[in-house]
Structure 1
Amino acid sequence: MHRYGPEYGGDEEGNHGMTNHAPMAAEVIVRRGLDINIDHWLDRYERRLDERPPAGDPIADWREALGDHRRLPAWTGLFASELRDRRWTDVLTQWWPRLLPGMVAGSTHGVIRVGHAVRTLRTGDSEPALNELANGLAFWAARYRPLPVSRHEVATDPRTALDHVPRLADQSGLIAHRIGRLGELPPRPAGDDPMRQLTSLVDAATRAYLSYGPAAPVLLVHTATAPNAVAHILPVLPRDLWAASYATSWSAVAAIVAMYAPAEGVDVAGGDPGTASAVLDRAAGHGDEHVLKFTDTAVEAYERRPDPDLLRAAQLAGALISTPH
């Protein structure tokens, strides 16, 4: 997949396209051992992708190049070079605080792609996995777009906090247009354990999909998959980066909820979802990349907290999102 760009389609400037989910979904398929012929799945997915643009001049000033999608090939070259010369954990630790404020980049797919690469690298280094990390970091840097991070906390649970996120009055247009309408983001749920706060946010966002999902079935899965990616990355980062990672994750999730969730969510009724294995099997039969990734996240949440509603949320995503052809 690395000869293709991280996005496809879009306008003549390369904006407003769709994200290439193939590497992220492939990681889920292989790690979960899903009953999917991955070669056939990738062959079908590959037909929609655009070739990577040719490399340009190397990046001389990384601050100036942040958020410039035209520099994507140069960003990829920069990270590939760094990952050849240094330990991947050292590269990630250096760049994490630089990229963190722009977590919403590419509808959060930059950090999600990095999360899937890190999950692979935590099982052992390999050249393809290092290349994937370089591609994920480059996408994040090229689409970097900062959001304000609330300095305030509130003594509440994550689900209540999500329900009280003020919704945009005008929820029209593409995500790039909606971000420009965001005001100050609400305070985040308080706590003194960033990892526990982060996983609680993942669990709450997964459960909230039962209420919010029908309003924007694809976009709203990222309220769970983005902080889940961060949760997989934190163990390889110094602990002094954890609190900021949780705070920024909350801001990214709150922004998506404000932009896409309905003002009044109503839980969608659903039957018994069955076991986690059954839910994963249904996701494999469905085959959509968002369904695969969200189900993977929902099952992880269920393993922490065996609430059937977490599996029902994954089941709902499969019902709302079209099966790929």
Structure 2
Amino acid sequence: MDQNTLLDFEKPIAELEAKLEDMRELASQNNVDVSAAINELESKITQLKKSTFENLTRWQRVQLSRHADRPYTLDYIYQITDEFVELHGDRAFGDDKAMVGGLGTINGKTFMMIGQQKGRNTKQRQLRNFGMANPEGYRKALRLMKMAEKFNKPVVTFIDTPGAFPGIEAEERGQAEAIAKNLKEMFKLTVPVICIVIGEGASGGALGIAIGDSVMMLENTWYSVISPESCSSILWRSWDYKEQAAEALKLTAKDMKSFGLIDKIIPEPLGGAHTNPQEMFEIMKKTILEEAEALEQLDTITLKNNRIEKFSTMGVFNE
């Protein structure tokens, strides 16, 4: 683990892993057999990981979803596709770097892949606007979805945003209209749509590319109308109550599944996606192929009707 990006609850695990590394190095240098001690320490680390990550609070899940080492949209796209061609621009205003998309092949099958992209350093974050898309980003996403429909290719969206960009220039260019149009048009798409929350799923910024036949969340992600910090700021006029806000919002993958707002939770490697990205890429690749195969068995009318019915019944109950 990178010591600079460790979260508080990861530190005890990192300390044991550092001891394990020292023990292995010492044994190698002195040609001493300490395999029994190494096995015991490995077992202890595994147990500590299980107990830690099975009992995370909602706020800790939020922290994991934002981990600096966590794979981003382009990481998934480049790792799970055999070939990827990025497409640019909304054909109306410009090219939003916070929203990426293009055609990619997985095991010879072509998908239209779209998602929000964050940056890992200051320069990248400025370029990608911290994953907060402008209206042209949502219009680009819709243009690519319509292209996928024209050529009968399934759509996969990767959701990872702290929200749509709230700047005055975004509002001037029609942020609300762009997102609303995406919601309307995604319901009507005649091709399978697979939506996956890979990090943060905040507000309409996430929802603008999240109307799908199969909506899934990675295990350590969140999906909500507002972030815990913003909720805390509104209710208590301070960010100090973000942990309480996270608990009240019930925004984790388990919460969303229990409410019937998502279809499936995608498991992550023990310790989170950032601890074993390669394993996470394999899980993602397998999941997308399985979901696409199942959805392609449905005819166009059934696909659209099921999608509309699923979202129409959310939040509705009978007494």
Q: Fold-level match, TM-score > 0.5?
A: no
Q: Does 1 or 2 have the higher relative contact order (CA < 8 Å, sep 6+)?
A: 1
Instruction: Decide which structure has the larger Cα Rg and report it.
Output: 2
> Between Structure 1 and Structure 2, which shows a larger proportion of strand residues?
2
Q: Taking structure 2 as the reference length, what is the TM-score of the superposition?
A: 0.28
